[in-house]
Amino acid sequence: MIILKNLTKTYGSINAIDQLNLRIHKGEFFGLLGPNGAGKTTLIRMLSTLTPSTLGSISIDGVLMDRDKSRVKSKIGIVSQHTNLESELTAKQNLELHGKLFRMPKDVLTKRIDESLEFTNLSNRKNDIIRHFSGGMKRKLMIARALLHSPEVLLMDEPTIGLDVTARRKLWDLMKRLNKEGMTVILTTHYVEEAEALCSRVGFLNFGKIIALDTPTNLIRASGEFALECFDERVNETKNMFFSDRETALEKAKSLSTSVNIRPTNLEDTFVLLTNRKVGENHECFNHSLA
Ligand SMILES: Nc1ncnc2c1ncn2[C@@H]1O[C@H](COP(=O)(O)OP(=O)(O)O)[C@@H](O)[C@H]1O
Ligand SMILES: [Mg+2]
Protein backbone atom coordinates (compact mmCIF):
# COMPACT_ATOMS: atom_id res chain seq x y z
CA MET A 1 0.00 0.00 0.00
CA ILE A 2 1.15 3.54 -0.79
CA ILE A 3 0.38 6.13 1.85
CA LEU A 4 0.76 9.86 1.32
CA LYS A 5 0.49 11.96 4.44
CA ASN A 6 0.14 15.71 4.28
CA LEU A 7 2.33 15.67 1.17
CA THR A 8 3.27 19.14 0.02
CA LYS A 9 5.53 20.57 -2.66
CA THR A 10 5.98 24.28 -3.02
CA TYR A 11 7.84 26.13 -5.74
CA GLY A 12 8.31 29.66 -4.42
CA SER A 13 4.77 30.77 -3.72
CA ILE A 14 3.11 28.00 -5.78
CA ASN A 15 1.67 24.98 -4.00
CA ALA A 16 2.19 22.39 -6.75
CA ILE A 17 1.06 19.67 -4.31
CA ASP A 18 -0.94 20.91 -1.38
CA GLN A 19 -1.26 18.83 1.82
CA LEU A 20 -2.27 15.64 0.04
CA ASN A 21 -3.52 12.63 1.99
CA LEU A 22 -4.07 9.51 -0.05
CA ARG A 23 -3.92 5.71 0.15
CA ILE A 24 -3.42 3.59 -2.93
CA HIS A 25 -3.92 -0.14 -2.52
CA LYS A 26 -1.96 -3.04 -3.98
CA GLY A 27 -3.29 -4.06 -7.38
CA GLU A 28 -5.26 -0.86 -7.94
CA PHE A 29 -5.45 0.95 -11.25
CA PHE A 30 -5.43 4.46 -9.88
CA GLY A 31 -5.95 7.54 -12.02
CA LEU A 32 -5.03 11.13 -11.28
CA LEU A 33 -7.09 13.31 -13.52
CA GLY A 34 -6.41 17.00 -13.82
CA PRO A 35 -5.71 19.84 -16.21
CA ASN A 36 -2.27 21.16 -17.14
CA GLY A 37 -0.58 22.64 -14.11
CA ALA A 38 -2.72 20.71 -11.61
CA GLY A 39 0.35 19.02 -10.11
CA LYS A 40 0.27 15.59 -11.79
CA THR A 41 3.92 15.49 -12.88
CA THR A 42 5.09 16.89 -9.55
CA LEU A 43 3.24 14.12 -7.70
CA ILE A 44 4.55 11.37 -10.02
CA ARG A 45 8.09 12.71 -9.64
CA MET A 46 7.70 12.76 -5.86
CA LEU A 47 6.40 9.18 -5.87
CA SER A 48 9.37 8.11 -7.97
CA THR A 49 11.91 9.73 -5.61
CA LEU A 50 12.97 12.31 -8.23
CA THR A 51 11.50 15.37 -6.53
CA PRO A 52 11.88 15.80 -2.77
CA SER A 53 8.82 16.88 -0.82
CA THR A 54 8.65 20.19 1.02
CA LEU A 55 6.49 18.69 3.76
CA GLY A 56 4.77 15.40 4.59
CA SER A 57 5.67 11.81 3.82
CA ILE A 58 5.37 8.97 1.31
CA SER A 59 5.56 5.34 2.35
CA ILE A 60 5.37 2.25 0.20
CA ASP A 61 4.62 -1.07 1.89
CA GLY A 62 5.65 0.47 5.17
CA VAL A 63 8.98 1.81 3.87
CA LEU A 64 9.31 5.56 4.31
CA MET A 65 10.79 7.16 1.22
CA ASP A 66 12.97 9.57 3.20
CA ARG A 67 14.44 6.67 5.20
CA ASP A 68 15.22 4.26 2.37
CA LYS A 69 15.08 5.85 -1.05
CA SER A 70 16.82 3.02 -2.88
CA ARG A 71 14.40 0.40 -1.55
CA VAL A 72 11.44 2.49 -2.60
CA LYS A 73 13.10 3.03 -5.98
CA SER A 74 13.44 -0.71 -6.52
CA LYS A 75 9.70 -1.13 -6.00
CA ILE A 76 8.79 1.47 -8.59
CA GLY A 77 8.88 1.69 -12.37
CA ILE A 78 8.33 5.04 -14.06
CA VAL A 79 7.20 6.11 -17.49
CA SER A 80 7.77 9.84 -17.60
CA GLN A 81 5.70 12.40 -19.49
CA HIS A 82 8.44 13.12 -22.02
CA THR A 83 10.16 10.52 -24.17
CA ASN A 84 13.61 10.00 -22.73
CA LEU A 85 15.09 7.17 -24.78
CA GLU A 86 18.50 7.22 -26.45
CA SER A 87 17.39 7.72 -30.04
CA GLU A 88 20.62 6.51 -31.66
CA LEU A 89 20.64 3.24 -29.72
CA THR A 90 18.56 0.14 -30.43
CA ALA A 91 15.62 -0.93 -28.25
CA LYS A 92 17.74 -3.65 -26.65
CA GLN A 93 20.65 -1.28 -26.00
CA ASN A 94 18.29 1.17 -24.30
CA LEU A 95 17.10 -1.57 -21.99
CA GLU A 96 20.66 -2.75 -21.29
CA LEU A 97 21.58 0.77 -20.28
CA HIS A 98 18.71 0.92 -17.81
CA GLY A 99 19.59 -2.51 -16.40
CA LYS A 100 23.14 -1.34 -15.76
CA LEU A 101 21.86 1.74 -13.92
CA PHE A 102 19.85 -0.59 -11.69
CA ARG A 103 22.92 -2.84 -11.32
CA MET A 104 20.99 -5.87 -12.52
CA PRO A 105 23.09 -9.05 -12.86
CA LYS A 106 23.75 -9.84 -16.53
CA ASP A 107 21.80 -13.12 -16.68
CA VAL A 108 18.77 -11.60 -14.92
CA LEU A 109 18.95 -8.59 -17.23
CA THR A 110 19.07 -10.71 -20.41
CA LYS A 111 16.05 -12.69 -19.24
CA ARG A 112 14.08 -9.59 -18.22
CA ILE A 113 14.87 -7.80 -21.50
CA ASP A 114 13.38 -10.72 -23.42
CA GLU A 115 10.33 -10.89 -21.15
CA SER A 116 9.67 -7.13 -21.21
CA LEU A 117 10.00 -6.94 -25.00
CA GLU A 118 7.74 -9.94 -25.36
CA PHE A 119 5.14 -8.41 -23.07
CA THR A 120 5.10 -5.15 -25.01
CA ASN A 121 5.13 -6.93 -28.41
CA LEU A 122 8.45 -5.40 -29.38
CA SER A 123 10.58 -8.55 -29.61
CA ASN A 124 10.89 -8.34 -33.38
CA ARG A 125 12.10 -4.72 -33.17
CA LYS A 126 14.74 -5.17 -30.49
CA ASN A 127 17.68 -4.49 -32.79
CA ASP A 128 16.12 -1.44 -34.44
CA ILE A 129 17.27 2.08 -33.70
CA ILE A 130 14.78 4.16 -31.70
CA ARG A 131 14.92 7.06 -34.14
CA HIS A 132 12.83 4.95 -36.52
CA PHE A 133 10.17 4.06 -33.92
CA SER A 134 6.64 5.51 -33.98
CA GLY A 135 5.35 7.43 -30.95
CA GLY A 136 3.36 4.40 -29.80
CA MET A 137 6.37 2.09 -30.05
CA LYS A 138 8.52 4.51 -28.07
CA ARG A 139 5.89 4.57 -25.31
CA LYS A 140 5.75 0.78 -25.29
CA LEU A 141 9.52 0.62 -25.00
CA MET A 142 9.41 3.08 -22.11
CA ILE A 143 6.94 0.73 -20.41
CA ALA A 144 9.20 -2.27 -21.16
CA ARG A 145 12.09 -0.34 -19.62
CA ALA A 146 10.06 0.59 -16.54
CA LEU A 147 9.20 -3.10 -16.02
CA LEU A 148 12.75 -4.35 -16.37
CA HIS A 149 13.69 -4.47 -12.68
CA SER A 150 10.33 -6.15 -11.81
CA PRO A 151 8.76 -3.26 -9.88
CA GLU A 152 5.57 -3.65 -7.86
CA VAL A 153 4.17 -0.28 -8.84
CA LEU A 154 4.14 1.33 -12.26
CA LEU A 155 3.88 5.12 -12.42
CA MET A 156 2.85 6.58 -15.75
CA ASP A 157 2.70 10.30 -16.40
CA GLU A 158 0.32 11.05 -19.27
CA PRO A 159 1.48 7.93 -21.14
CA THR A 160 -0.74 8.40 -24.18
CA ILE A 161 -0.20 12.12 -24.73
CA GLY A 162 0.36 12.94 -28.39
CA LEU A 163 -0.55 9.46 -29.64
CA ASP A 164 -3.17 8.80 -32.30
CA VAL A 165 -6.36 7.01 -31.32
CA THR A 166 -5.25 3.55 -32.50
CA ALA A 167 -1.91 3.72 -30.70
CA ARG A 168 -3.68 5.02 -27.59
CA ARG A 169 -6.12 2.10 -27.55
CA LYS A 170 -3.26 -0.41 -27.97
CA LEU A 171 -1.50 1.15 -25.02
CA TRP A 172 -4.71 0.97 -22.98
CA ASP A 173 -4.85 -2.79 -23.62
CA LEU A 174 -1.23 -3.14 -22.56
CA MET A 175 -1.87 -1.26 -19.33
CA LYS A 176 -5.02 -3.29 -18.62
CA ARG A 177 -3.10 -6.53 -19.13
CA LEU A 178 -0.37 -5.38 -16.75
CA ASN A 179 -2.87 -4.49 -14.06
CA LYS A 180 -4.73 -7.78 -14.54
CA GLU A 181 -1.48 -9.59 -13.86
CA GLY A 182 -1.27 -7.87 -10.48
CA MET A 183 0.69 -4.68 -11.11
CA THR A 184 -0.37 -1.60 -9.14
CA VAL A 185 -0.74 1.10 -11.76
CA ILE A 186 -0.83 4.83 -11.09
CA LEU A 187 -1.59 6.89 -14.12
CA THR A 188 -1.98 10.61 -14.66
CA THR A 189 -4.01 11.95 -17.50
CA HIS A 190 -5.97 14.93 -18.66
CA TYR A 191 -8.00 12.68 -20.97
CA VAL A 192 -11.23 12.05 -19.12
CA GLU A 193 -12.17 9.06 -21.27
CA GLU A 194 -8.82 7.47 -20.42
CA ALA A 195 -9.47 7.68 -16.69
CA GLU A 196 -13.02 6.44 -17.21
CA ALA A 197 -11.95 3.49 -19.38
CA LEU A 198 -9.02 2.28 -17.30
CA CYS A 199 -9.11 3.28 -13.68
CA SER A 200 -10.75 1.48 -10.81
CA ARG A 201 -10.44 4.67 -8.77
CA VAL A 202 -9.95 8.24 -9.87
CA GLY A 203 -8.75 11.28 -7.96
CA PHE A 204 -9.51 14.71 -9.39
CA LEU A 205 -6.43 16.85 -8.93
CA ASN A 206 -6.96 20.58 -8.95
CA PHE A 207 -4.36 23.14 -7.83
CA GLY A 208 -2.40 20.41 -6.05
CA LYS A 209 -5.38 19.13 -4.07
CA ILE A 210 -7.53 16.04 -4.56
CA ILE A 211 -11.01 17.47 -4.68
CA ALA A 212 -12.88 14.20 -5.30
CA LEU A 213 -11.91 10.56 -5.06
CA ASP A 214 -13.95 7.48 -5.94
CA THR A 215 -14.71 4.93 -8.65
CA PRO A 216 -15.68 6.54 -11.98
CA THR A 217 -19.21 5.14 -11.58
CA ASN A 218 -19.68 6.64 -8.12
CA LEU A 219 -18.24 9.99 -9.18
CA ILE A 220 -20.71 10.15 -12.06
CA ARG A 221 -23.61 8.93 -9.93
CA ALA A 222 -22.93 11.66 -7.37
CA SER A 223 -23.49 14.30 -10.09
CA GLY A 224 -26.69 12.67 -11.39
CA GLU A 225 -26.60 10.04 -14.11
CA PHE A 226 -28.57 12.02 -16.69
CA ALA A 227 -27.34 15.25 -18.20
CA LEU A 228 -29.72 17.70 -19.81
CA GLU A 229 -27.83 19.85 -22.27
CA CYS A 230 -29.51 23.09 -23.27
CA PHE A 231 -28.09 25.36 -25.91
CA ASP A 232 -29.12 28.92 -25.31
CA GLU A 233 -29.00 30.61 -28.72
CA ARG A 234 -29.32 34.08 -27.26
CA VAL A 235 -25.91 33.79 -25.61
CA ASN A 236 -24.53 30.91 -27.72
CA GLU A 237 -23.81 28.91 -24.61
CA THR A 238 -24.49 25.33 -23.60
CA LYS A 239 -25.66 24.81 -20.05
CA ASN A 240 -25.91 21.41 -18.39
CA MET A 241 -28.27 20.28 -15.70
CA PHE A 242 -28.02 16.92 -13.98
CA PHE A 243 -30.70 14.53 -12.81
CA SER A 244 -30.72 11.19 -11.05
CA ASP A 245 -33.47 9.82 -13.35
CA ARG A 246 -34.47 10.27 -16.96
CA GLU A 247 -38.12 11.12 -16.17
CA THR A 248 -37.25 14.21 -14.17
CA ALA A 249 -34.79 15.27 -16.89
CA LEU A 250 -37.57 14.86 -19.48
CA GLU A 251 -40.00 16.89 -17.36
CA LYS A 252 -37.47 19.70 -17.13
CA ALA A 253 -36.71 19.48 -20.87
CA LYS A 254 -40.41 19.99 -21.67
CA SER A 255 -40.47 23.19 -19.66
CA LEU A 256 -37.57 24.73 -21.62
CA SER A 257 -37.80 26.69 -24.84
CA THR A 258 -34.15 26.14 -25.82
CA SER A 259 -32.92 23.15 -27.88
CA VAL A 260 -32.14 20.29 -25.50
CA ASN A 261 -30.42 16.94 -25.43
CA ILE A 262 -30.54 14.29 -22.73
CA ARG A 263 -27.49 12.07 -22.46
CA PRO A 264 -25.62 9.98 -19.87
CA THR A 265 -23.45 12.04 -17.54
CA ASN A 266 -19.71 11.47 -17.96
CA LEU A 267 -16.66 12.03 -15.82
CA GLU A 268 -15.90 15.33 -17.54
CA ASP A 269 -19.29 16.69 -16.44
CA THR A 270 -18.46 15.70 -12.89
CA PHE A 271 -15.10 17.41 -13.05
CA VAL A 272 -16.62 20.59 -14.49
CA LEU A 273 -19.31 20.58 -11.83
CA LEU A 274 -16.72 20.29 -9.11
CA THR A 275 -14.22 22.76 -10.47
CA ASN A 276 -16.20 24.91 -12.84
CA ARG A 277 -13.37 24.42 -15.26
CA LYS A 278 -12.96 21.87 -18.04
CA VAL A 279 -10.32 19.15 -17.90
CA GLY A 280 -7.70 20.05 -20.51
CA GLU A 281 -7.89 23.77 -19.87
CA ASN A 282 -4.64 25.20 -18.73
CA HIS A 283 -4.28 25.94 -15.06
CA GLU A 284 -0.86 27.50 -15.29
CA CYS A 285 -2.01 31.09 -15.53
CA PHE A 286 -4.67 30.66 -12.84
CA ASN A 287 -2.30 28.91 -10.52
CA HIS A 288 0.30 31.64 -10.79
CA SER A 289 -2.14 34.48 -10.38
CA LEU A 290 -3.70 32.82 -7.35
CA ALA A 291 -0.39 32.10 -5.70
N1 LIG B 1 10.54 22.88 -11.34
C2 LIG B 1 9.54 23.76 -11.16
N3 LIG B 1 9.80 25.03 -10.79
C4 LIG B 1 8.78 25.91 -10.58
N5 LIG B 1 7.47 25.61 -10.72
C6 LIG B 1 7.16 24.37 -11.08
C7 LIG B 1 8.17 23.37 -11.34
N8 LIG B 1 7.55 22.20 -11.68
C9 LIG B 1 6.23 22.48 -11.66
N10 LIG B 1 6.00 23.76 -11.31
C11 LIG B 1 4.67 24.39 -11.16
O12 LIG B 1 3.89 23.53 -10.36
C13 LIG B 1 2.55 23.44 -10.84
C14 LIG B 1 2.22 21.99 -11.17
O15 LIG B 1 2.99 21.58 -12.31
P16 LIG B 1 2.97 20.09 -12.88
O17 LIG B 1 3.18 19.15 -11.76
O18 LIG B 1 3.93 20.04 -14.00
O19 LIG B 1 1.46 19.97 -13.41
P20 LIG B 1 0.82 18.93 -14.46
O21 LIG B 1 1.75 17.81 -14.62
O22 LIG B 1 -0.49 18.56 -13.84
O23 LIG B 1 0.63 19.69 -15.71
C24 LIG B 1 2.49 24.38 -12.03
O25 LIG B 1 2.00 25.63 -11.61
C26 LIG B 1 3.93 24.49 -12.48
O27 LIG B 1 4.19 25.71 -13.12
MG1 LIG C 1 2.55 16.99 -16.37
pLDDT tens for 11-44 read 999 999 999 999 999 999 999 999 899 999 999 9
Q: How far is CA 126 from the centre of its chain?
A: 27
SS3 helix, strand, coil % of the chain, rounded to 5? Answer: 40, 30, 30
Q: Which helix (H) or strand (E) holds 64?
A: strand 63-64
Q: Record the pTM.
A: 0.89
pLDDT tens for 205-260 read 999 999 999 999 999 999 999 999 998 888 888 889 999 999 999 999 999 888 89
Give the residue, by CA position, lying nearest to ligand 1 atom 17: 39
- What is the spatial distance between Cα 205 and Cα 211, in angstroms, rounded to a whole number? 6
Ligand 1: atom nearest CA of 51 is 1
Could you state, in order of their start, the residue ranges of all structural domains in the chain?
2-86+146-213, 219-290
Cα of 157 from ligand 2 centre, angstroms: 7
| CATH placement of domain 2-86+146-213 | 3.40.50.300
Ligand 1: atom nearest CA of 208 is 14
Cα of 205 from ligand 2 centre, angstroms: 12
pLDDT score at 276: 74
Sequence-distant (6+) residues with CB within 8 A of 247 are none
Cα of 231 from ligand 1 centre, angstroms: 36
Cα of 34 from ligand 2 centre, angstroms: 9
pLDDT tens for 135-146 read 999 999 999 999
Give the residue, by CA position, lying nearest to ligand 1 atom 4: 11
Categorize the per-residue pLDDT at 286 as very low, low, confident or very high, splitting at 50, 70 and 90: very low
Residue 280 Cβ inside 6 Å of ligand 1? The answer reads no
Locate all alpha helices (DSSP H) within 181-238, ordered by sequence.
192-198, 216-223
